[in-house]
Amino acid sequence: MPALGHTGPLLAISADLAARGHEVVFLGGARFAGAAARAGARFVALPAEADFDDRDLDASFPGRSELPPGPERIAFDVRRVFLDPVPHQYRALLALLAEFPAEAVIADAFLQGALALALGRPRAERPALIGVGVTPSMLPSADTAPFGLGLPPMPGEEGRARNRALQEELDRRGEPLQRYAEKVFAEAGVQLPEGPRGRAVVAVPDVFVQLTVPGFEYPRSDAPASYRLIGALPGAVGGERPLPSWWGEVTGERQVVVVTQGTLANTDLGELIAPTVAALAERDVLVVAATGRPDGPQLLAGLLGGRLPDNVRAVDYVPFERLLPHTDALVSNGGYGGVQTALRYGVPVVVAGVSEDKPEVAARVQWSGAGLDLRTGRPAPEAVGWAVDQVLGEGRFRERARALGAEYAEYRPFDTIAGLVESLT
């Protein structure tokens, strides 16, 4: 999918495979051509009908901004962002494979043109398909509530009964979207299998790898054998840009709290970054506000009356792989990659996010014991301050985050994917 949070992991996988000597072609959004080249892959752009700029989804998809966050916008996104491009993605894949007879296709789970490839061709007539889960697992299960509700597992038969009732209700309400999905895939010349589309996304590929560990993903006793948790990908160290002049402060005596709204939901810094800065302005901590946009520091100062508190360092970009080893707590709106990067370094997390997959990430943070879910996308400063005090002051959060960090360290996801490529082909 031509969005940074989806493209980044696939580029990292491409770079690793290219470094191992494989010939790699990257099919993706036009703005990532340079990044693909740096990864050592030949780049092919998705057709215009399947490409968009995730930095401004509302401009890419007219009418989206008129819908409030919630069921209506989710339904709009499912139709326009994820389903409408499927026939164009599928045709682009077929055209690419006609001139580049690949032995394996590795696809982000949300690029469902790859799903059409597996459904439309017998295994003997197509490359091996490896699906990659770059968001919390969407696989329906008797053991979990349906994806999107942000509900952690409930044990026993009571929990299973709850899950069945919720899935039945979701299936009923989602019937129009299911019929729409079937129509889109039929236009591509393939038939979707019976049952929830979330299961097909995982069960149809020859192997589906979920980029996480068991400690951060709900157990599913009924998962297909092809479904594997393989750990989180390590990020780039970020040595291509000079470190800020204040970098020495992060290795000082004060505790460090990092706050970010990620790379997608950072249009309004008043949602989380500003409340966090306001909440911690008088605390004896160093606050690093990673705004994710070039004008972010100026916008943040404007939201706070024209100047930043003395203990705040605001930046557009900061190399998280270098910052998080010196961080005591992360305040995040729930980006899957960013939260898992923090946990890899044993950093407890406070999450406040309601868009995209963020409620599911937030629920997993609290379920895992590594942090707190504020269950809102726009918390009051008092709520953020209380939560930060809890994760800094109660050792159980740091202890659990460190245990998860040790679990992540046991996995070698690049080796696993390379091994799958070689064994499946």
Each residue of 83-100: pLDDT tens digit?
999 999 999 999 999 999
* pLDDT value at residue 237: 53
DSSP type of residue 146: P
The domain of 269 spans: 247-409
Res. 293: pLDDT tops 60: yes
Q: Which of 114, 298, 275 is nearest to 206 (CA)?
A: 114
**Residue 165 domain-assigned (yes or no):** yes
Q: What is residue 105's DSSP assignment?
A: E
Q: What is the dihedral of CA 276, 280, 286, 289, to 10 degrees?
A: 20
CA atoms of 50 and 81, how far apart (whole Å):
8
Q: How confident is the model at residue 155 (pLDDT cuts 50, 70, 90)?
A: very high
Q: What value does the mean pLDDT take over residues 51-61?
A: 89
Residues 23, 142 within the same domain = yes
Q: Of 224 and 236, which is predicted with more confidence? A: 224
Predicted pLDDT at 228: 97
Asked if residue 94 is part of any domain, the answer here is yes
Quick: pLDDT tens for 239-279. Answer: 567 888 899 998 878 999 999 987 666 778 888 999 999 99
> Residue 298: inside a domain, yes or no?
yes
The CATH number assigned to the domain holding 187 equals: 3.40.50.2000
Residue range 45-64: mean pLDDT, rounded = 91
Which tens digits make up the pLDDT trace of 381-421?
Answer: 999 999 999 999 999 999 999 999 999 999 999 999 999 99
Residues 81 and 17 in one domain: yes
Residue 243 or 344, more confident: 344
Note whether 12 and 150 are same-domain residues: yes
Within-domain flag for 172? yes
By the 8 A CB rule, do 26 and 42 touch? yes
259 lies in the same domain as 210: no
Residue 236 banded pLDDT, cuts 50, 70, 90: low
Query: Does 263 lie in the same domain as 204?
Result: no
Q: Is residue 418 part of a domain?
A: no
**Are 211 and 292 found together in one domain?**
no
Buried-state track 93-118, b at ≥16 Cβ within 10 A, e below 16: bbeebeeeebebbbbbbbbbbbbbbb
Question: Which two tokens mark 302?
Answer: 């404007």
pLDDT of residue 425: 85
pLDDT at 43: 97
Would you place residue 355 in the very low, low, confident or very high pLDDT band (cuts 50, 70, 90)? confident
Quick one: pLDDT at residue 162? 97
Q: Do 162 and 39 share a domain, yes or no?
A: yes
From CA 52, how far away is CA 293, in angstroms rounded?
Answer: 19
* 273 and 225 housed in the same domain: no
pLDDT higher than 90, residue 109: yes
Higher pLDDT, 292 or 108: 108
Beta bridge partners of 285: 255
Asked if residue 242 is part of any domain, the answer here is no
* Separation of alpha carbons 353 and 349, rounded Å: 12
Number of domains in the chain: 2
> In this predicted structure, what is the pLDDT of residue 412?
97
Mean pLDDT estimate for the chain: 92
Residues 6+ apart with CB under 8 A from 331: 257, 258, 259, 260, 272, 276, 349, 350, 351, 352, 384, 387, 388
Q: Are residues 51 and 153 in the same domain?
A: yes
Residues in the chain: 425
- For the cut 90, the answer to whether the pLDDT of residue 292 exceeds it is no
pLDDT at 264: 66
What CA–CA distance (Å, rounded) separates 336 from 358?
7
Q: Are residues 253 and 280 in the same domain?
A: yes
Q: Are residue 319 and residue 182 in the same domain, yes or no?
A: no
Any domain includes 376: yes
Tell me what pLDDT residue 320 has. 87
Place of tokens 């469902």: 112
Q: pTM for the complete prediction?
A: 0.92
Residues 306 and 225 in one domain: no
Would you place residue 34 in the very low, low, confident or very high pLDDT band (cuts 50, 70, 90)?
very high
Mean pLDDT, rounded, for 156-164: 96
The arithmetic mean of pLDDT across residues 137-159, rounded, is 94
Residue % of the chain over a pLDDT of 90: 75
pLDDT of residue 153: 95
Average pLDDT rounded to a whole number, residues 56-68:
88
pLDDT at 240: 64
Beta-sheet pairing, 227-229 with 207-210: parallel
The verdict on residue 360 lying in a domain is: yes
